[in-house]
Structure 1
């Protein structure tokens, strides 16, 4: 729908909603004639009709719901209070509650994937979306709860002491707010599906907190929620603060660790499920901390990503992987190729193809000895032209392309063919307990049939047991990888593992890798 002067309806409403939302109720009424004149100029009769509808609704919304009105503490975009107003409201509730603050809580919410949304739409559309999300969150509140916009796509909430918030009621409210924003939002002719992750903090879990302490604790819980994926909820605990503190310490150390060589590649074997022969290895990053020992990848990889060091990590993995192949070749060991994961940020490097070509030449290795593992979500989205060019360039160079975590990203068959994918890696979620789950067997069988018709090899990730391995072989899967076959190991341990494989292995499932 468009206005009578050709202005898109959502832009017209955005233009009118800001001025109206920022006014107090008495000023709204006093300014009504001016607003009607502005509406007539911007949108003709339709604009006037919109103001006549919006004005009483906005005035009504100011009655019976807490509105933060302290001078200078209102968000100019949404008309909600800002961070200072939220902390002041929490301080007021804490002071009113008296004694142990058992009935006070704060919540912080953020739109998932907001940076990607910002990249696809202009400023007016983004402001419209933020207003709509703010309105939906406001509609999902209980009487007495207070909403504020903190910054960007982040909102804060002071939970009223009259509702006696505890863990269960806070989770229920969080789920209700997530449901309130779930309906698609029309923006520039598109339907945007918004999800929010949130964290909350109960005052009783902190020692003599003030409003700022509660907001900070809820923000820490939000960070933990975001680590769990979209639409997640977490409650603050002191253990959480300790984990966040450790991650901050890691962030200060990670660049130096890369320079010192503390982050190295470990290698996990990939075998033929038919013969047990080694068909490749995957290089996986491991950090050997001088004081904490081996740090799990789940802890340091997000830190590296936030620090913008994934490109540097990729260089280390490539160099370690190609160097291992060269040393194994010199030792007379048959390791067909090394597979290395590349993030979307690395694939967006315009120098990637030339850099890998130079590295392969430096180590005197054929390009097909290097397998590039690409997440299915990257191929499915294909959001950047440089990523598409790099994948095509790597395929043209002669490198193998493996599609990682297949079954989780909705990649189209046309995308698989376009990028000359040579092997798909079936996600571990389809492999776990496949020997006992008929539905899992049907799903994997369908994937294998598709791959067979397309002439693409298959590898099952996360093979943990002999029974899973046998079932995958019977279904026709080509390769397997997982702790049930071999754990990620340093280069010398991997070499010993390879030497332990029988030198002559018949093409039958009874012959097993060690």
Structure 2
């Protein structure tokens, strides 16, 4: 009772003395203080037992014990050079589901979700229900943990929780959004601040649409990392090959065969491990290195194409993202021609991915000219994140777009949500009208993959097919995929 919160009783004691007199206050104190002390001791013993000798099976914790548990986790992380992550999981559109299925059914549904979540974690992890539709999961400290592994955990949580629930004869489709925040021994954070960052990550995920996953660092940077040292670090990372392309496959829904790979940047840091683009692209922007990054991705993609050719693999094309700064370079076309000649590749094996926001805001004659010349050269043009910007339908013809990439926000729950299907159907009908192909990105479940194929989407890409991988792993994945589709039955016309 010597902690600062205990001092809050002093004004109350003074007021009690006025109302009840000294004797009454004394009796109250002798009754309340032992009870408070016993409760505090019980809480600490519960948390200590939780982290040192957990229950045989995970259980849903009360919020007090959960919050104390987070404090203990932070202490363990700091003192033993460990890492942990805090996840916030929320049922999407909970109020709409309550209106549709009734409060009683949804209460049973939430209970089922909680049971599934408990079954997905270890007995030493902490789980708490924060409100009607939201849960929190704190991973017990471990030696090795990074953003990629946390994302994989979030994916597994989603796959488990998003299976349709059957309650009282009702079939309740389910989707959840997840936000998480990773901490290490270097973090200086309180339980409240850590939880707040995880909740903020969840809010960021909700902005992306249903069934999204987002992360935030434990502390937002007070000052953008734009010092000369940091800019030199990112330059050196590009020069030394630490920043390199990883490859995510794009699959034909008609045959299951590979229609291409997308080159995605990863920073393989010598001490920090794998750093995702969301963590280093702001630094690339501040250092004015987007052109160099695009060149690195393109050269790495061309080298991979040649290596796949030499290995006898059929990979038609490599997709590379180009943003405003690269497309504004008057020398862009000559650079691409030189690289294609150097690697002895035809232009149609390069897919230029351009964000819809770049096309919708284009007011630069050089950008317009470069996109037209890329089309004339024979490169293919993908319009990325279609549906999230404000590009006019005319832009598809204006810039010679050969394929539109349907954004993840429309793909999520495509197998279970009739509204999502309606949106996708409208996009596919428009694409067919203009004679362009379609690719759905962010496909994360077998159900989404199947639904998109049935609706007529041409290609799919996402964690549900394969995560982005270093080149060496593609040499194993490609023959595995080939062997898998060879065992699929053929339908009329040779389509699998």
Shorter-chain TM-score range: 0.5 to 0.7
Distance 1:397 1:428, change over 3 A: same
User: Matched residues in 1 for 2:490 and 2:289: separation?
Assistant: 43
Q: Among residues 379, 386, 396, which one is paired with 2:359 in the alignment?
A: 379
Q: Deviations over 1:24-66 (max 9, x none)?
A: xxxxxxxxxxxxxxxxxxxxxxxxxxxxxxxxxxxxxxxxxxx
- Three-state SS of the structure 2 residue aligned to 1:436 is coil
Q: How does 1:77-88 map to 2 (within 5 A)?
A: none
TM-score normalised by the chain length of structure 2: 0.54
TM-score normalised by the chain length of structure 1: 0.52
Residue 276 of structure 1 is matched in structure 2 by 256
RMSD over aligned CA atoms reads 3.1
User: Matched residues in 1 for 2:404 and 2:340: separation?
Assistant: 23
Residue 355 of structure 1 is matched in structure 2 by 335
- Three-state SS of the structure 1 residue aligned to 2:384 is strand
| Cα drift, residue 285 of structure 1 | 0.4
Q: Deviations over 1:241-268 (max 9, x none)?
A: 6686878675441111111110000000
Residue 39 of structure 1 is matched in structure 2 by none
Q: Is contact 1:276–1:512 with CA below 8 Å preserved after alignment?
A: no
Q: Among residues 390, 399, 422, which one is paired with 2:402 in the alignment?
A: 422
Q: Deviations over 1:121-162 (max 9, x none)?
A: xxxxxxxxxxxxxxxxxxxxxxxxxxxxxxxxxxxxxxxxxx
Q: Deviations over 1:360-387 (max 9, x none)?
A: 0000000000000000111112221100
Q: Among residues 436, 439, 442, which one is paired with 1:456 in the alignment?
A: 436
Q: How does 1:68-83 map to 2 (within 5 A)?
A: none
Q: Once structures 1 and 2 are overlaid, which stretch shifts more, 494-503 or 415-424?
A: 494-503
Q: Is contact 1:274–1:508 with CA below 8 Å preserved after alignment?
A: no
Q: Deviations over 1:407-447 (max 9, x none)?
A: 01121121110111000000001001111111111001000
Q: Is contact 2:226–2:287 with CA below 8 Å preserved after alignment?
A: no
User: Matched residues in 1 for 2:471 and 2:436: separation?
Assistant: 29
Residue 284 of structure 2 is matched in structure 1 by 304
User: Matched residues in 2 for 1:244 and 1:290: separation?
Assistant: 24
Residue 348 of structure 2 corresponds to residue 365 of structure 1: no
Residue 299 of structure 2 is matched in structure 1 by 319
Q: Deviations over 1:62-110 (max 9, x none)?
A: xxxxxxxxxxxxxxxxxxxxxxxxxxxxxxxxxxxxxxxxxxxxxxxxx
Q: Is contact 1:373–1:402 with CA below 8 Å preserved after alignment?
A: yes
Residue 219 of structure 2 is matched in structure 1 by 240
| Cα drift, residue 279 of structure 1 | 0.5
Residue 313 of structure 2 corresponds to residue 333 of structure 1: yes
Distance 1:478 1:508, change over 3 A: farther
Distance 1:358 1:383, change over 3 A: same
| Cα drift, residue 507 of structure 1 | 5.4
Count of matched residue positions in the alignment of Structure 1 and Structure 2: 285
Q: Among residues 423, 426, 431, which one is paired with 1:443 in the alignment?
A: 423
Residue 410 of structure 2 corresponds to residue 400 of structure 1: no
Q: Among residues 429, 443, 447, which one is paired with 1:467 in the alignment?
A: 447
Distance 1:256 1:436, change over 3 A: same
Residue 414 of structure 2 is matched in structure 1 by 434
Unaligned runs of 5+ in 1: 1-205, 207-220, 232-236
Q: Is contact 2:371–2:399 with CA below 8 Å preserved after alignment?
A: yes
Unaligned runs of 5+ in 2: 1-187, 189-196, 208-215
Q: Once structures 1 and 2 are overlaid, which stretch shifts more, 341-350 or 499-508?
A: 499-508
User: Matched residues in 2 for 1:255 and 1:457: separation?
Assistant: 37
